[in-house]
Structure 1
Amino acid sequence: MKEITDIIKAYQKATKEKKKTALATVVKVEGSSYRRPGARMLVTEDGQLTGAISGGCLEGDALRKALSAIVQQENKLITYDTTDEDDAKFGVQLGCNGIVHILFEPVIEADELNPIAFLIALQRKRAQAVLATLFSLTDKLQLGTSLLFRNEPVLSTIPKSISDEVIKDIQEVFKNKTSAFKVYEQKTQHIDAFLEFIKPPISLIITGAGNDARPLAEMAYLLGWEVTVIDGRPTHATPQRFANASSILVSKPENVLGQIQIDEQTAFVLMTHNYNYDRELLKYLLATNVPYIGTLGPKKKLLRMLDELDLATQANETRVHGPIGLDIGAETAEEIAVSILAEIKSVFTGASAMFLKEKKKPIHVYELKKINL
């Protein structure tokens, strides 16, 4: 989601400066690639790039293709086949041995349903959504970003001839919470669709505004997470100390839950260094469905809190991560922040947090998955 936020900001800046732009989106990958479907990059007519569609090796040629789309004012689908030696001759070398399909869409400001309008509508509300991008691997018809769905269509430019079928498939994607690819038939044309399931960014609630919380808040912001800092001390919970936090609250434990929103992308980190504050807040959190709770400090501290609250069950001990973080030998506040963020990320993605070199399956779990709804 951070990439989308950065793209929107870059587009708005370019618009003020009267610069034309194009949006490049990875719509399909066969084999290995540095970026997966859904990766995006905004290109301005003077060559400024925001976002990324590869590790840097495609951007040079993608710039030329984007400029062509801007000049011709039409969508273009470009395929980069890194298994083809001819691509290597032209300098397009991903080192990944895969085929990458990228859709280039000129962004026409006067068009109220241009691709950036869909991204702005997506960002406007913190909720799960499906974004449909239509293209064709066999025909010239490249419809582009075409539908935003949240329980019902929000924005749509889907052709009426396939609208019902697309929406039916999107409802299934929304239910399964898994992106999918689909092919539709319109008269004699084949329309490919990338139905992208998008979650809101992780909402990180940091209780404790000490010096060790500052690198955690800053690193989470760099990841594009929404950061809230809560502390009972007005001298510590200030915008001067946490400039990039979305929200800063001075609150007692019993008032915290009434001031925040909890959803399935919410993570709490208890690091006030005030035992009574953390224990009280833990009591209220365990009565909610918050999916991640982490406590700073030794395991015996967590077990003591649960015992005093009469909540020392196996389920609660499993649900609460204490001591918080992955074992990376962290010592400094910055290293501890890396450890904490890595654990939270692995929990929300269901990843193993193992060494990648020891992983037997593809790095991206859906790399070999071809979903036909």
Structure 2
Amino acid sequence: MKEIQDIVRAYGVARQLNKKTALATVVQVEGSAYRRPGARMLVTEDGELTGAISGGCLEGDALRKARLVMTQQKALLVTYDTTDDDDSRLGVGLGCNGIIQILIEPIVAEDLNNPIALLSAVISQRQQAVIITLFSLQNRLGFQPGTCLLLPEKGDKRGDKYPLELSELLEKEGNQVLQSKKSLIRNYQLQDKVLSAFVEYLHPPVSVIVLGGGNDVQPLVQMASILGWSVTVIDGRTNYAVKTRFPTADKVLVAKPQQVLENITVDAQTVFLLMTHNYNYDLAMLRQLLPLPVVYVGVLGPKKKLNQMLEELESDGMEITPDQMQKIYGPLGLNIGAETPEEIALSAISEIKAVLAGKEGTFLRQKPQAIHERSVVNTPIPVGSSQPVSDEVI
């Protein structure tokens, strides 16, 4: 989500300066690649790049093609085949082993449903959404519909560049992706042509609620902000909860435990860290957080402290279920030998990322499979048919 935020921000600057722009999007990958479908890069006519579609090896060639797209005002689908051992013909050393499809679209400011407008609508509200991008592998030089449909969790759909006969199917796919929270690619047979749809699931940025405003919280707030996470720092002490101490935080609030939940919105992307170094404050917060539908509550300090808090809550008559215990991470952080505040922040941030991604946080070299799941291209669905086919899940 941070990449999208940066792109929208950069586009606003480019538009003020009256610069032409184009958006490059990775829409399909077969095999290995540095970036997966959904990676984006904004290109300006003077060569400024925001975002990334690779580790740096494709950007130069994509820049040249993006300038062509700006000139012709026509979307272009570009294929980079890195399975070829001799990749010198691209002028780059790719070092991957996959086929990467990148769609480059001109941004027309007057078009209220241009790709940036749809992405702006996604980040303007804190909710889940699906963005659908249509492209044609069959006719690369022909019409490429591009980023054409936004389906928010709440509110009306936006977009108008897709074939009308696909409208019902695309909305159905979008609603399924909202439920599964997994992007996918579908192929559709429309009479004599095949269109591919990248149905992309987008969720709001992680919202980190840090209870505690000590010096050890400062590096954690900085790291979370670098990732594009929304950060709120809350402390009961007025001399600790000060914006100048946490300049990158979105909010810095002074609140007692019973006031905390009144000042924040809790959703599936919200995580909590108890870092006040105040036993009674942390205890009061843990009592409120356990019943909430969140997946992560990190507790700073030794295991003995957490056990004592849990025992005290149970002695007060609170029944703590196995599901509630599953969301508590104490001591917080991955076991990386962290000692300093900066290292502890790295440990905590890594653990949060692993939990939200459903990963174990182990060494990648111990993983027997590839880092990313391999995609399998499905058989095109004849439009008007209910024939089931396998999905290409991203």
Q: Fold-level match, TM-score > 0.5?
A: yes
Distance in 1 (alpha carbons) for counterparts of 2:136 and 2:275: 51
Alpha-carbon spacing, 1:153–1:32, altered in 2? closer, same or farther (3 Å): farther
Quote the RMSD (CA, aligned, Å).
1.4
Q: Given the alignment of the two structures, is residue 208 of structure 1 paired with residue 215 of structure 2, yes or no?
A: no
Partner of 1:183: 187
Partner of 2:225: 221
- Is the CA contact 2:29–2:375 (under 8 Å) kept in the aligned structure 1? no
Q: Given the alignment of the two structures, is residue 58 of structure 1 paired with residue 65 of structure 2, yes or no?
A: no
Alpha-carbon deviation of 1:316? 3.6
Distance in 2 (alpha carbons) for counterparts of 1:236 and 1:265: 26
- Is the CA contact 1:34–1:94 (under 8 Å) kept in the aligned structure 2? no
SS in 2 for 1:154: coil
Alpha-carbon deviation of 1:153? 4.7
More displaced 10-residue stretch of structure 1: 311-320 or 57-66: 311-320
What amino acid is the match of 2:137?
A: L
Alignment partner of 1:235 out of 225, 233, 239: 239
Q: Given the alignment of the two structures, is residue 275 of structure 1 paired with residue 279 of structure 2, yes or no?
A: yes
Deviation digits for residues 64-103 of structure 1 (CA, Å, limit 9, x no counterpart): 0111100110000000001124533332332111110000
Alpha-carbon deviation of 1:315? 4.1
Distance in 2 (alpha carbons) for counterparts of 1:254 and 1:35: 44
SS in 2 for 1:117: helix
Alpha-carbon deviation of 1:282? 0.5
Alpha-carbon spacing, 1:97–1:233, altered in 2? closer, same or farther (3 Å): same
Partner of 1:98: 98
Distance in 2 (alpha carbons) for counterparts of 1:328 and 1:83: 36
Distance in 1 (alpha carbons) for counterparts of 2:146 and 2:276: 48
Distance in 2 (alpha carbons) for counterparts of 1:284 and 1:104: 48
Partner of 1:143: 145
- Is the CA contact 2:354–2:360 (under 8 Å) kept in the aligned structure 1? yes
What amino acid is the match of 1:295?
A: V
- Is the CA contact 2:31–2:99 (under 8 Å) kept in the aligned structure 1? yes
Partner of 1:167: 171
Distance in 1 (alpha carbons) for counterparts of 2:98 and 2:328: 40
Partner of 1:333: 341
- Is the CA contact 1:209–1:231 (under 8 Å) kept in the aligned structure 2? yes
What amino acid is the match of 2:102?
A: I
Distance in 2 (alpha carbons) for counterparts of 1:367 and 1:153: 33
Q: Given the alignment of the two structures, is residue 355 of structure 1 paired with residue 363 of structure 2, yes or no?
A: yes
Deviation digits for residues 133-182 of structure 1 (CA, Å, limit 9, x no counterpart): 00010112211101111246521222212111111121111121111101
Deviation digits for residues 197-234 of structure 1 (CA, Å, limit 9, x no counterpart): 11111110000010000110110000010101000011
Partner of 1:304: 308
Partner of 2:130: 130
Alignment partner of 1:252 out of 245, 256, 266: 256
What amino acid is the match of 1:227?
A: V
Distance in 1 (alpha carbons) for counterparts of 2:376 and 2:262: 42
Alignment partner of 1:291 out of 283, 290, 295: 295
Deviation digits for residues 307-336 of structure 1 (CA, Å, limit 9, x no counterpart): 111156544433210000001111111110
Deviation digits for residues 101-157 of structure 1 (CA, Å, limit 9, x no counterpart): 000001011111111001000101111111100001011221110111124652122
Distance in 1 (alpha carbons) for counterparts of 2:251 and 2:64: 41
Partner of 2:386: none
Distance in 2 (alpha carbons) for counterparts of 1:279 and 1:347: 23
Alpha-carbon spacing, 1:111–1:316, altered in 2? closer, same or farther (3 Å): closer
Alpha-carbon spacing, 1:86–1:108, altered in 2? closer, same or farther (3 Å): farther
Distance in 1 (alpha carbons) for counterparts of 2:12 and 2:63: 19
Alpha-carbon spacing, 1:259–1:369, altered in 2? closer, same or farther (3 Å): farther
Alpha-carbon deviation of 1:242? 1.0
Deviation digits for residues 227-255 of structure 1 (CA, Å, limit 9, x no counterpart): 01000011111111111111111000011
Alpha-carbon deviation of 1:367? 2.5
Q: Given the alignment of the two structures, is residue 156 of structure 1 paired with residue 164 of structure 2, yes or no?
A: no
Partner of 2:387: none
Distance in 2 (alpha carbons) for counterparts of 1:274 and 1:99: 54
- Is the CA contact 1:230–1:249 (under 8 Å) kept in the aligned structure 2? yes
- Is the CA contact 1:80–1:87 (under 8 Å) kept in the aligned structure 2? no
- Is the CA contact 1:25–1:53 (under 8 Å) kept in the aligned structure 2? yes
Distance in 2 (alpha carbons) for counterparts of 1:142 and 1:30: 20
Partner of 1:113: 113
Unpaired runs of 5+ in structure 2? Answer: 379-389
More displaced 10-residue stretch of structure 1: 27-36 or 169-178: 169-178
What amino acid is the match of 2:223?
A: M
Q: Percent identity?
A: 53
